[in-house]
Amino acid sequence: MMAQPFDLSGWSRVRLERVERALERWVTADVPQGLDHGAPAELVEAMRYAVLDGGKRLRPLLVMAAFEAVAGPGDSSGAEAALREGSEAALRAACAVELIHAYSLVHDDMPCMDNDVLRRGKPTVHVQFGEASALLAGDALQALAFELLTPTDGTVDPVVQARLCALLARAAGSAGMAGGQAIDLASVGQRLSEHQLREMHQAKTGALLQGSVVMGAQCGKPDATALRALDAYGAAIGLAFQVVDDILDVTADSATLGKTAGKDADNDKPTYVSLMGLERSRAYAQQLLAEALAALDGSGLPDTQALRGLADMVVNRAS
């Protein structure tokens, strides 16, 4: 009997429900343990506006998929203690990477950066709440991400906490997302080589996607072969995501994208399409997809269907 095709939509729906419930619970004005007051309501409103009810949630899905590929599928009910702990760590890592992603979008959209007014189909945070509130909301989301990774209730091994914090900090910092954004801002109006463009996008966009995969894997305690393979997979789809973003910026409209289309060309930013042309960019995205799938083939992991489905979604998406 033929195996049923993998239902990525159904798989994603279950995981995203967990992530959404957790984000709803954790991005609040509740009083943290050890303090006598919570966060200002206006600040929390801006934080929740930036995070909840929007976005692809690709990074949390990558965390979950990598964890399940290493540790085994699914919900942890009835599983052994190690799987329960890994599942809790993976959920916290999934939410943490989404908070970092959300903070980066809040700051990137501000007038001092990309000066955009539309994000996820609604006004950007600085348009809705003002620049000062947007800046503080981004700062607070970044801090909350690391708070989520360091629970004090014994649910996550301190060694795993430290490993996850280090991975997320590197992916988001000067050698990762923030550094890539700095290169991007300095490159306006310049023509970069393919090597320079790849380095910029590997840092600006790819690092957090790659980090999401590795963080998920670390929650499941992978062997060296699997970890190398997942790292390579994450690098390939991280870059592929940006190549496709560049393609969509010139082929899709703002309503489809949920953000302002054509901004890169209007701002004279170097992109894969401006460097390679549309057809070569499409071919390169497919090449990166093949590299990602080949990495999974060499992982030694028995079930990588979710990771394969997500890679295909990244490259063949319409928004």
Q: For residue range 69-126, list pLDDT tens digits in order.
A: 999 754 444 345 556 778 999 999 999 999 999 999 999 999 999 899 988 889 999 9
**Contact assessment for residue 318 and residue 256, using Cβ atoms and an 8 Å cutoff:** yes
Average pLDDT over residues 52-57: 85
* pLDDT above 90 (res 257): no
pLDDT for the residue numbered 86: 85
pLDDT for the residue numbered 31: 44
Interval 168-206: pLDDT, tens? 999 999 999 999 999 999 998 888 999 999 999 999 999
Q: Is residue 243 part of a domain?
A: yes
- Residue 209's CB is within 10 A of a number of other CB atoms, namely 27
The C-alpha atoms of residue 113 and residue 7 are separated, in whole angstroms, by: 39
Q: Is residue 2 part of a domain?
A: no
Q: Is residue 218 part of a domain?
A: yes
User: Tell me, what amino acid is at 230?
Assistant: L
Q: What is the mean pLDDT of the chain?
A: 90
For residue 195, which of 272, 293, 248, 267 has the smallest C-alpha distance?
Answer: 272
Q: Which residues pair with 119 in a beta bridge?
A: 122
Q: Is residue 3 part of a domain?
A: no
The C-alpha atoms of residue 226 and residue 228 are separated, in whole angstroms, by: 6
Please give the tally of structural domains in the chain.
Answer: 1
- 246: CATH: 1.10.600.10
Residue 116 structural domain: 8-28+37-316
Average pLDDT over residues 213-225: 96
pLDDT for the residue numbered 77: 46
Q: Is residue 261 part of a domain?
A: yes
Interval 284-296: pLDDT, tens? 999 999 999 999 9
Q: Is residue 305 part of a domain?
A: yes
